[in-house]
Structure 1
Amino acid sequence: MGKQAVTVIGLGPMGRAMVTAFLAEGHPVTVWNRTASKAGELVAQGAVTASSVEEALAANELVVLSLTDYDAMYAILEPAAHALAGRVLVNLSSDTPDRARAAAAWAAGHGAEHLTGGVQVPPPLIGKPGSATFYSGPREVFDAHRETLEVLTGTDFRGTDPGLAAMYYQALMTIFWTSMLSYLQTLALAGAHGVTAAEMLPYASRAMTMMPHFLETYAPHIDAARYPGDVDRLAMGAASVQHVLHTNRDAGLDTALPAAVDGIFRRGMDRGFAENSFSSLVEVLKQPAG
């Protein structure tokens, strides 16, 4: 029995990497992209280019979407909505949990199934061991196509709520972007003192390897809603953050990031959490700043 045929819509770096992975494993692939020229190398590898979105949808039951966001999905698929019946849309585009739920309802209204996906690796790691993608949506649909989807990455099914895969993905992107921005702030501070990024790298890497310890320490605090100050106290952390802020300010740097952190600590202090653990700031973050 031959490998399942797949349609891939969206040929940015991620989409192209996915098509290449499918072709390498012997899956017939039909592709479509607004800029048709992006399909050239993929066609040389064996992909078939559809002349329209309708043709791309008609080609295969399984349709993988690799687009910028859900607005792009609607812009592309709305005009071809009549061709969606019977299709499984594996939406690997990035967007919010609420928009994923709305997209699932929209797809169902046109007779299609929708699986939300959140890819956890960059394009070069597609098809490589150790990669993974969050999925959520109808369990039976996921199970039916799991083997094919695992050509791209490992699969981590998070539940039938279409929004859960998007939530997990955006939650991890929260860690990624804030961590990477703090790294850039660190390098700017180092540079202001004549220290190169190469010189700072081993120390920054060492600091990151300590993070799992703190994650494991604080997770039980959060689940129990108890924030004992037996190991750390918010008042100590607030003083440290002030030192970070002043050090960056003295160096003549942009202080928007450390000032934002300082603001959150101040709100925690104002709430009376001074003797509690740093983890008590989760209570501050549960509400918009007033």
Structure 2
Amino acid sequence: MGSYRFLLSRRWLLFGVVVILLSTFAWWLGEWQFGRLDEKKSSNSVVRTNENLPPAPVAEVLSPDQDVDPADEWRRVEATGTYDVDHTVVVRYRSNDDGAPGVQVVVPLVTDEGLSLAVDRGFLATDARSLAGIEVPPAPTGEVTVVGWVRVDGTGASTAVDLEPDGLSTRAISSDRIAQAVGRPFYDGFVDVETENGEPASGLAAHDLPDLGNGPHFFYGLQWWFFGVLALFGFGYLAYDERRRGPRGERQRPTRNPRPDRPDRPVKEKKVRQTNVRREFQRR
């Protein structure tokens, strides 16, 4: 056996740096996954708490000039008013849990306080490519009491509200963008309807509550850490192997017996067949 002085060579130093970088990156990815797991647990705790609270008046939870507190998302609120069906907003390019295409139907609810509340009444399965091919189930007329789950507004360019010949449409719900299109003040955030006058929204699929599972983050974190440890173990094994047997490119290959008629051409060693049959009874 030799020494480990070869580890000071340029080849092994570069190899070691690469292994350390890969192991560090794998460790960081594992930490990131476990951080995601902590965030998921914290979010699930908020949702569980809010789901079990009784509905609160909408003015106690939402405000027209303040963003929705993340701790209030999925809190149930109650509001009474009249649906403004003339300003119905269709949210395009949606799908349900089965992957069926469709749209979300958002209708402003004008409350007695004069503020409007964006109410997502539910999912409508449709293959229509334009608003002209969408027949939206009618919202209740007259005064209606809505109970629903508080949601945080979407962000980005997808929240832009487009005015089409057949109505308003968007790709993500933002009460600020809807307020600009309608020309009235709105509560910040929106509501996924649970009931209208004590009944589910007619003709529309109800919203699903969020999944409260922890997801795959724990196992993903363990996998990344395993990859980091595996890289270090592989480096150590290769170093031990080179110390014991020398560099791979300089190792002497085992010799073979040459053939008598072709001394320049090596032949493989003949393997001895292992058997319990006596020699005189063996097949020649």
TM tier relative to shorter chain:
under 0.3
Greater helix fraction, Structure 1 or Structure 2: 1
Quick check: which has more Rg, 1 or 2? Answer: 2
The two structures have a TM-score, normalised by structure 1, of 0.20
Greater strand fraction, Structure 1 or Structure 2: 2
Q: Which of structures 1 and 2 has the larger relative contact order (alpha carbons within 8 angstroms, sep 6+)?
A: 2
The two structures have a TM-score, normalised by structure 2, of 0.20
